[in-house]
Structure 1
Amino acid sequence: MRSPIEGGNPRVETDGFRRSLAEFATGVTVITTSVDGQRFGLTSNSFASVSLEPPLVLWSIRRESKSFSAFAACSHFAVNILADDQIELSQRFARSGPDKFRDLDCHAGEGGAPLFAGMAASFECVCSQTYDGGDHLVLVGEVLRYSRYDRQPLLFVKGRYAVSADHPDTRVFDGKDVRLEDGEERVLSNLMIRAYSAIAARLERGRQTAGLGLTLMQARLLRAAATSPDRTLDELMPELFLDFNASRNLLESVVALGLVAVDDRGRVRLTIVGEERLHAIVAHAHANEEILFQGIADADLATVRRVLNTMISKQFGDSKSVAAR
């Protein structure tokens, strides 16, 4: 059996404990309720089924949450299971702020709990029991009504968003395969995800053996911070593809390493040490790319680079930041 990469007492090694919990992949939900006509909602991945008879589900809320008193006193709540194109909705309800429901397409379910459009599924519940869960309160709901839609669910694992895919060892080919006759992937975005996964896996292994001491996500945060200095965490989040809590934990980890500094206005900038580490990461990536891309014509690589830069420019609307990448 391999030795663990980290371990210990969870009361002492809290960061490692949190990272270990993040190895368990979950869906992403927004739990909502209405109390005295006021709507409340928060992003949660603690949702789980409990029983079919009676139909029970549970989730937990942090006692320090600004919505705690509302959910602790609610008679009903709704579980909105997000679809894979609802990352923005997840991020919106992961942050504290004024009316999170503004301009959203939603309607009232059982007990007035808001239900969103475009979900993968929803459960409308009466809050039947609550239990002490340490720094959380566990809420058990009896499901009064459920709805399921033809959508793919949004997933969350290792502190980042993900989408589901058939495991290659269990995939069933039924004649409706997404590949063309010559074996090429029909869906370009799927091909890009698979290519990125292959490259990222190699770079991750290389970072570990080269002693660069950063995870893939930490390196991504340094790169995003260097692209356009003095952006806040909120402004960096679209490039991290993490919810607010995960992004904040990631930022805190690189601040603790002395690689990033945050000023009193929340603006993020690399330190001198961070710039040196990023230069080492970029040099390492270039060296690995020379190996990965052997046998691919320079003209083909230039085309790929041009296409990707165009896509990034359209997404972020900043050609200068694209060039800097």
Structure 2
Amino acid sequence: MRTPVESGDPRIEPAGFRRSLGEFATGVTVITTSLGGISYGMTSNSFASVSLEPPLVLWSIRRESTSYAAFESCSHFAVHILADNQIDLSQRFARSGADKFSGLDCQAGLGEAPLLDHVAARFECSRSQAYDGGDHLILLGEVQRYCRYDRPPLLFAKGRYAVAADHPETRVFDIAGIVPGQDGGEERVLSNLMIRAYSTVAARLETGRKSAGLGLTLMQARLLRAAATSPDKTLEDLLPELLLDFNASQNLLSSMIALGLVAVDGEARMRLTGAGEESLKAIIAHARANEELLFQGIPEDDLATVRRVLAGIVSSQTGGPARATA
């Protein structure tokens, strides 16, 4: 594509600048420290490795953060690379508040920095240097201890959470879709197949939406559906369904309000506007048309079974009735 989707001066158009930065996929970390007997923690995706000799890492903290004073003065901090099943932990530490560690079983690490469990990797660091970074402070840490676990990492890209999958050009499958040399391997794990199937369908619908001129991104369409399915819910209520952190969700909601598709009342409850309902109807009609093409050749009995199974999974988690029928 020769023509950019958006461009400009980041000082004049900061929202577009942030979306452009979001094209760079990162991992998700929670950084913790302790100061004066009080534990502090925050979610960050600015983490990066710097040097092997000496072992140095860096990350940055916004100067307006409520935890800024603690990290500016701390002697040690711990960096936790989250595993792909820890979205709830990411969202917990992305919010402001004094009870972030409530209910968590944390050990005390170097400098009394709290250590979180079940992560993909962890680095305990002594604070080495701090550098001015505009509206952020860049913190350099020397790694004193590290540990790594056999867990896939949580990723963040384009304003939403993601999981890692091998690029199709780097993997070779047999006709059944099983990795050669394995007795089924990860391709027999149902959750992995569901993730890959969802990615295939979502990519097809995203391409179709653009070519059909519907004008909404995948995440905007997801917010429309979520607001329609659960009217009068707040943005925070819908975070588990959106799979976004709170800040990214706020940006998404702001874009929908600006388009006149979603309205928010004085108690932060969301509802679709008339234009939003019409847009959602167009999206659903487009999705059905694309599904007919995407699933052609698959027996209707098989599709009915998939609908029942997926509806059953959803109802078991939400407590609501399953809507799919045979």
Normalised by the shorter chain, which TM-score bucket? over 0.9
Residues 1:26 and 2:30 aligned together: no
The 3 A distance-change label for structure 1 pair 300 and 174 is closer
Any gaps of 5 or more consecutive residues in structure 1?
Answer: none
Residues 1:8 and 2:8 aligned together: yes
Q: 1:51 Cα deviation (Å)?
A: 1.0
The whole-number CA distance in structure 1 between the counterparts of 2:46 and 2:70 is 18
The whole-number CA distance in structure 1 between the counterparts of 2:129 and 2:318 is 45
Q: What's 1:60 paired with?
A: 60
Q: What's 1:131 paired with?
A: 131
Q: 1:262 Cα deviation (Å)?
A: 1.4
The 3 A distance-change label for structure 1 pair 208 and 65 is same
Kindly, what percent of the aligned residue pairs are identical?
Answer: 72
Letter of the structure 1 residue corresponding to residue 21 of structure 2? L
The 3 A distance-change label for structure 1 pair 130 and 177 is farther
Decide which moves more: 266-275 or 26-35: 266-275
The one-character-per-residue Cα deviations of 1:92-121 (angstroms, maximum 9, x if unpaired) are 101112311011121111001111110111
- Determine which of 270, 273, 278 is the counterpart of 2:272: 270
Q: What's 1:104 paired with?
A: 104
Q: Secondary structure at the match of 1:123?
A: strand
- Determine which of 175, 179, 182 is the counterpart of 2:181: 175
Any gaps of 5 or more consecutive residues in structure 2?
Answer: 173-178
The whole-number CA distance in structure 2 between the counterparts of 1:170 and 1:209 is 28
Decide which moves more: 171-180 or 306-315: 171-180
Q: What's 2:196 paired with?
A: 194
TM-score by length of 1: 0.93
Letter of the structure 1 residue corresponding to residue 160 of structure 2? R
The whole-number CA distance in structure 2 between the counterparts of 1:27 and 1:67 is 21
Q: Secondary structure at the match of 2:168?
A: coil
Q: What's 2:284 paired with?
A: 282
The one-character-per-residue Cα deviations of 1:300-321 (angstroms, maximum 9, x if unpaired) are 211111111001111222227x
Q: What's 2:45 paired with?
A: 45
Q: What's 2:176 paired with?
A: none
Letter of the structure 1 residue corresponding to residue 287 of structure 2? A
Q: What's 2:250 paired with?
A: 248
Q: What's 2:157 paired with?
A: 157
The 3 A distance-change label for structure 1 pair 54 and 307 is same
Q: 1:13 Cα deviation (Å)?
A: 2.2
Q: 1:178 Cα deviation (Å)?
A: 3.4
The 3 A distance-change label for structure 1 pair 68 and 309 is same
The whole-number CA distance in structure 1 between the counterparts of 2:231 and 2:224 is 10
Q: 1:174 Cα deviation (Å)?
A: 6.6
- Give the number of equivalent residue pairs: 318
Q: Secondary structure at the match of 1:285?
A: helix
The one-character-per-residue Cα deviations of 1:115-145 (angstroms, maximum 9, x if unpaired) are 1110111111111111111111111111111
Q: What's 1:217 paired with?
A: 219
The one-character-per-residue Cα deviations of 1:218-275 (angstroms, maximum 9, x if unpaired) are 0000100000101111110110111111111111111111111111211111111111
The 3 A distance-change label for structure 1 pair 118 and 179 is closer
- Determine which of 237, 240, 244 is the counterpart of 2:239: 237
Residues 1:298 and 2:292 aligned together: no
The whole-number CA distance in structure 2 between the counterparts of 1:264 and 1:178 is 53
Q: Secondary structure at the match of 2:123?
A: strand
Q: 1:176 Cα deviation (Å)?
A: 2.6
The whole-number CA distance in structure 1 between the counterparts of 2:204 and 2:180 is 32
The one-character-per-residue Cα deviations of 1:145-165 (angstroms, maximum 9, x if unpaired) are 111112111111111111222
The 3 A distance-change label for structure 1 pair 143 and 174 is farther
Matches within 5 A, 1:305-316: 305-316=307-318
Q: 1:73 Cα deviation (Å)?
A: 1.4
The one-character-per-residue Cα deviations of 1:33-52 (angstroms, maximum 9, x if unpaired) are 10100001000000001111
The one-character-per-residue Cα deviations of 1:27-85 (angstroms, maximum 9, x if unpaired) are 11000010100001000000001111111110001111111111111111110111111
